[in-house]
């Protein structure tokens, strides 16, 4: 399935960026030639990983994590490219260390959680795991690269599998709802009036949360037996405080992290405004490209919207590569691609579940969670269901660092699975 996705992606890149003067798929000067080069490099690196001892992979987890953190620090000193310090430029090559942070963090988290007497229920364990995720996440935020940062939230599924309370997971989904509402209110620039003073809607939202929390507190105090009150008091207070922090964090992000184009994209996503020729251009062009494929598509190399020649859909080989595939293969091809991804994810989860080693199992779930998050966000992004934040479609989108990073995840999992009968604590 891995190579099926990789070569389907390569053919889509070839079609979307086809140059009649360089018809060879290995033409180095063309995007498809460079992608083929990185596929070969990824396969060679994968071969080396498969020859490694699985214990060696495990024992070098922290070292790998440390090296990638160092790369994330150094890249902040590099000259900005497109407004971000995210790449190392080496001749004609570029490397994006934030992509490598995904597998490095997965290895570090797996190694820590697989330790003796480590339980997800312990506060110390939660704190250390949070640090393992927050350190690379913070460095990536400084680049800034909000898309890659969001991928780190996918680790919540891994922690849940390893014993994190279901209440925390439900609380996380509740926080997502609070966050979405806060983003909507902030993006809409809505205001309200209190005692003659004009107040931003998000601050009114925070006040409403405090009022609701107070009402719940009174209900608990009057209708719940005394011996059951204390845990419910704590839950109410924490939920209220975290909600307020979430709302204020959204305000801070909009004022200090997001640029005007990000605010505009949120407004377009929520239907607050329509801007077909400005910030909404990518989404509307992507939807027209997908829709033009109709039921069975136009055929290979027959796309007229999602390719380099007409440039109707921007970034048709990277973030919006699904548009190129959908135009050429239509609804049928799009459905088959989605089913292939789902089957691939199910296969990874089944591999993770059959492991005897906790490290292997945790790493397997890290792989599944990272790929699922990328797949879900990218498809939602091109369909206009999520803001455009620059998350590639795994194994499909053009990009050397991305294909190498995703491949390393898969090959490490395969090597660990091959040695699953070995005694690893």
Could you report the per-residue pLDDT of 38-66, keeping only the tens digit for each? 999 999 999 999 999 888 999 999 999 99
Mark the ranges of the chain whose per-residue pLDDT is less than 70: 82-83, 91-92, 193-197, 257-262, 271, 273-281, 307-312, 315, 421-425
List the domain range (segments joined by +) for residue 240.
176-253
Please report whether residue 245 resides in a domain.
yes
What pLDDT does residue 59 have? Answer: 92
Distance CA 58, CA 49 (A): 12
Residue 59: closest CA among 133, 111, 128: 111
Q: 102 near 370, Cβ under 8 Å?
A: yes
* 346 part of a folded domain: no
Is 244 domain-assigned? yes
Instruction: Report d(CA 86, CA 83) in Å as an integer.
Output: 9
Return the half-sphere exposure (C-beta side, CA atoms, 13 A cut-off) of residue 349: 14
Per-residue pLDDT tens over the stretch 146-185: 778 888 888 988 888 888 777 777 777 788 788 888 888 8
* Any domain includes 425: no
Structural domain contains residue 220: yes
If one counts the domains in the chain, the total is 1
Sequence-separated (6 or more) residues with CB below 8 Å from residue 56? none
Contact 340, 389 (CB under 8 A): no
Show Cβ contacts of residue 322 under 8 Å, excluding neighbours closer than 6 positions: 290, 334, 337, 378, 379, 382, 393, 396
Is 233 part of a structural domain of the chain? Answer: yes
Tens digits of residue pLDDT in 309-324: 666 677 677 788 888 8
- Per-residue exposure over 45-80, b if at least 16 CB sit within 10 Å of its own CB, e if not: ebeebeeeebeebbeebeebbeebbebbeebeeeee
Separation in Å, CA 67 to CA 46, 61, 73, 105, 255: 19, 10, 10, 11, 33
Q: Quote the tokens at residue 43.
A: 């396969």
DSSP assigned state of 69: H
Kindly state whether residue 299 falls inside one of the protein's structural domains.
Answer: no
Residue 243: inside a domain, yes or no? yes
Query: What's the rounded Cα separation, in Å, for the pair 398 and 331?
Result: 22
DSSP-derived letter for residue 154 is G
167 Cβ contact list (under 8 Å, min separation 6)? none
| Averaged pLDDT score across all residues of the chain | 84
397-412 b/e with 16+ CB inside 10 Å = b? bbbbbbbbbbbbbbbb
Rounded to the nearest 10 degrees, the angle between the axes of helix 31-51 and helix 400-418 is: 20
Residue with tokens 């971000």: 84
pTM of the model: 0.83
């Amino acid at each position: 399935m891995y190579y099926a996705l990789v070569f389907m992606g390569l053919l889509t890149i070839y079609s979307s960026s086809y140059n009649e003067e360089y018809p060879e798929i290995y033409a180095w000067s063309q995007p498809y030639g460079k992608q083929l080069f990185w596929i070969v490099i990824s396969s060679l690196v994968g071969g080396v990983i498969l020859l490694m001892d699985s214990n060696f992979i495990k024992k070098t987890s922290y070292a790998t994590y440390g090296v990638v953190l160092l790369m994330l620090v150094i890249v902040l000193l590099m000259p900005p490219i497109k407004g971000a310090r995210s790449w190392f430029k080496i001749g004609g090559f570029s490397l994006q260390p934030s992509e490598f942070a995904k597998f490095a963090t997965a290895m570090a988290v797996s190694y820590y959680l697989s330790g003796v007497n480590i339980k997800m229920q312990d506060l110390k364990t939660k704190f250390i795991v949070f640090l393992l995720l927050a350190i690379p996440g913070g460095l990536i935020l400084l680049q800034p690269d909000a898309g890659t940062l969001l991928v780190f939230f996918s680790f919540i599924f891994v922690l849940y599998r390893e014993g994190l309370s279901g209440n925390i997971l439900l609380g996380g989904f509740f926080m997502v709802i609070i966050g979405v509402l806060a983003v909507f209110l902030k993006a809409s620039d809505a205001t309200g009036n209190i005692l003659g003073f004009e107040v931003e809607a998000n601050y009114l939202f925070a006040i409403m949360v405090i009022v609701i929390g107070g009402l719940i507190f009174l209900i608990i105090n009057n209708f719940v037996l005394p011996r059951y009150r204390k845990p419910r008091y704590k839950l109410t207070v924490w939920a209220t405080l975290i909600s307020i922090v979430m709302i204020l964090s959204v305000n801070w992000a909009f004022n200090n992290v997001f640029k005007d184009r990000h605010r505009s994209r949120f407004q377009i996503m929520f239907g607050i405004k329509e801007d077909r020729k400005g910030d909404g251009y990518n989404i509307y062009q992507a939807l027209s490209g997908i829709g033009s494929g109709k039921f069975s598509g136009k055929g290979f190399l027959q796309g007229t919207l999602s390719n380099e020649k007409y440039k109707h859909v921007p970034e048709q080989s990277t973030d919006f590569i699904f548009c190129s595939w959908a135009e050429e293969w239509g609804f049928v091809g799009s459905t088959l691609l989605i089913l292939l991804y789902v089957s691939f994810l199910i296969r990874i989860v089944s591999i993770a579940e059959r492991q005897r080693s906790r490290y292997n199992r945790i790493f397997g779930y890290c792989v599944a969670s990272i790929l699922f998050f990328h797949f879900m966000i990218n498809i939602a992004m091109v369909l206009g269901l999520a803001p455009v934040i620059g998350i590639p479609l795994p194994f499909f989108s053009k990009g050397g660092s991305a294909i190498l990073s995703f491949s390393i995840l898969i090959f490490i999992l395969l090597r660990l699975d091959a040695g699953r009968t070995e005694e690893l604590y």
